[in-house]
Homo-oligomer: A and B are copies of this chain.
Amino acid sequence: MTDPIPVYLDCDTGVDDAVALAYLLRSPSIDLVGIGTVSGNTSAAQAARNTLDLLALAGADGIPVAVGAHHHSSHEYSGGAAHVHGDNGIGGVELPRSGREPEAVSAVELLIDLSHRYAGRLHVLTIGPMTNIIEALEADPTLPERIAEVTTMGGAANVPGNITAVAEANVFNDPAAADALLTADWDITLVPLDATMEHTLSEADRVTLAEASDPLLRAVGGMLDLYFDFYRPTYGIRTCALHDPLAAVIAAGGTTITRGPRVPVRVDTTHGPGRGQTIADLRGQRLGDRDHPGARTRVVLDVDGSISSHLMQVLTGERPPR
């Protein structure tokens, strides 16, 4: 068994963020050393509240949570996605209120501090808009030197977007920030809709969570109820895409990437119809993955096995620690 990976999580908690958070807390491969929040699914402040309350339910009150950017780098926060994630970001579920408050420092300060404490080992996992990351890169351009790897849920390569025809929500919410993250000097694993839309959770699994004796799982199962409603027209059944959870599973090494070439990726920051699109150069991949020389962003197009099975095993503790 290798040492767990120290992870800074940047999130906008969020129903699927909550699932990812529960997975990261239970994964023996991960040492969650700090969490920053950002506006996206809900406000940065509400995301921090949700995160603190989930950590309390999980008995993980030692993990620092810092509030990050409320507004995005190019525009003001516009109120989140209540129709997807509920008014409070977590499907309307009322969690027991943790007595803990967010850190006095900002998410950017927390990230930079952790990058020194875990220099060369820290893994950055972003599952919300990347506003905190562009601010951290601006505050300290040497940050990438101390980061082992970045895993980012965002974008859509060869599939439609989920906010516009071509743009995915995390990227669309702050295209300039996404472009800054994707062009900084570090190794990135980008987890776009191409992969995440192909991995779903079943209603039976949701009920297992909702009826668990473990209060964390029960809360997560409850908040997935609204999220399943949202995805019903997309899939024709009650289910949900595993966007943020898949990024967490990949960061934890819980699956093998079966298709994921390293290619140049840019974000469309114009105000044209392609705004917020993640433009990955996937030409010439018909015969198999072909890495572009020098490209440092791996675009995940497919992964091995059932992500929902792995997720459920880790969440419910059915899987022995490695």
Copies in the complex: 2
Interface residues of A in 205-221 (CB under 8 A from B): none
Q: A283, B162: Cβ atoms under 8 Å?
A: yes
Which label, helix, strand, loop or mixed, suits the secondary structure of the A interface? loop
Q: Knowing A235-B286, A284-B234, say if A268 contacts B279 (CB, 8 Å).
A: no
Least CB distance from A13 to B in Å reads 25
A160 adjacent to B234 (CB under 8 Å): no
Which interface class (under 10, 10 to 19, 20 to 34, 35 or more) fits A? 20 to 34
Taking the complex as formed, is A144 at the interface, i.e. its CB lies under 8 A from any CB of chain B?
no
- How far is the CB of A104 from the nearest CB of chain B, in Å? 40
* Any B CB within 8 A of the CB of A119: no
Q: Which of A147-185 contact B (CB under 8 A)?
A: 158-162, 165-166
The stretch from A54-62, A71-79, A269-277 touching chain B is: A269-277
Which residue in B161, B285, B287 is a CB contact (below 8 Å) of A283?
A: B161
Does A274 contact B284, Cβ atoms closer than 8 Å? Answer: no
Which residue from B165, B197, B268, B284 sits with its C-beta under 8 Å from A281?
Answer: B165
Is the C-beta of A294 less than 8 angstroms from some C-beta in chain B? no
Q: Would you list 29 pairs from A and B whose C-beta atoms are within 8 A, ordered by A residue?
A: A158-B158, A158-B159, A158-B160, A160-B281, A160-B285, A161-B283, A162-B283, A165-B264, A165-B280, A165-B282, A165-B283, A166-B277, A166-B279, A233-B284, A234-B284, A234-B286, A234-B287, A235-B286, A266-B273, A268-B268, A268-B272, A268-B273, A269-B272, A270-B272, A270-B274, A272-B272, A273-B274, A273-B279, A274-B274
Which 5 interchain pairs have the tightest Cβ spacing?
A274-B274, A270-B272, A165-B281, A270-B270, A160-B283
Q: Other CB < 8 Å A-B pairs besides A165-B282, A266-B273, A269-B272, 15 of them?
A: A158-B158, A160-B282, A160-B285, A161-B283, A162-B283, A165-B280, A166-B279, A233-B284, A234-B284, A235-B287, A268-B274, A270-B271, A270-B274, A273-B279, A274-B274
Chain A residues within 8 Å of B, Cβ to Cβ:
158-162, 165-166, 197, 233-236, 264, 266-274, 277, 279-287
